[in-house]
Structure 1
């Protein structure tokens, strides 16, 4: 019975370590910039990609409203790295009721 408890404890510890590492990796791949978590940008991806993107979802508009857009202007050259077409940002912001800075 003692060996069985040790084995279960070892398996539980291993599982806890794997979950901890998974959480750390997810957090490490996210960058918080201009009041936006880069992982949240995926909420807007459908509305800023393709030839005829759909209107933004409410979750995307929440991200757009929380973003510091003047700050994002300084990073405009890198926005495409998040699979966002910069030329589609102004329509997205307009659809969300957000005043677009002149850089977009």
Structure 2
């Protein structure tokens, strides 16, 4: 049952990252913040995070976001987990020690 819940949550998160859901918040990162950061976590040509992305990340629950770092579905949606994990440092934010 727990695995099914995790899978459902992961799918909802992925849909949000690709822009399919509006008006929701994920780990205290709203859809505008997700959209602002999408170009920085997507291959083949990621860009440096924008001011808007960094502002969104500064209010996000980074520990919550870290819990998705090993999600096997992220690459299927064009999200590179390594790029995603590099965003906080590029925004002068510190990842939680358990990330």
TM-score normalised by L of structure 2: 0.60
Return the alpha-carbon distance in structure 1 between the equivalents of residues 35 and 77 of structure 2: 8
- Which residue of structure 2 lines up, in the alignment, with residue 35 of structure 1? 28
Using the TM superposition, give the Cα deviation of residue 85 of structure 1 relative to its aligned residue in structure 2, in angstroms.
1.8
- Which residue of structure 2 lines up, in the alignment, with residue 73 of structure 1? 66
Return the alpha-carbon distance in structure 2 between the equivalents of residues 71 and 45 of structure 1: 17
Asked if the contact 1:34–1:69 (Cα under 8 Å) also holds between the matched residues in 2, the reply is yes
Q: Choose the corresponding residue for 1:95, options 72, 75, 90.
A: 90
Return the alpha-carbon distance in structure 2 between the equivalents of residues 79 and 35 of structure 1: 21
- Whose relative contact order is higher, 1 or 2, with alpha carbons under 8 Å and at least 6 apart? 2
> Whose helix proportion is higher, 1 or 2?
1
Q: How many correspondences in the alignment?
A: 76
- Which residue of structure 2 lines up, in the alignment, with residue 48 of structure 1? 41
CA RMSD of aligned residues (A): 2.6
Structure 2, unmatched stretches of 5+, are 1-20
CA 1:99–1:45 in 2, change beyond 3 Å: closer, same or farther? same
Which structure's CA Rg is the greater one? 1
Q: 2:51 aligned with 1:61, yes or no? A: no
Return the alpha-carbon distance in structure 1 between the equivalents of residues 87 and 27 of structure 2: 17
Structure 1 runs (4+) deviating above 3 angstroms are none
TM-score normalised by L of structure 1: 0.57
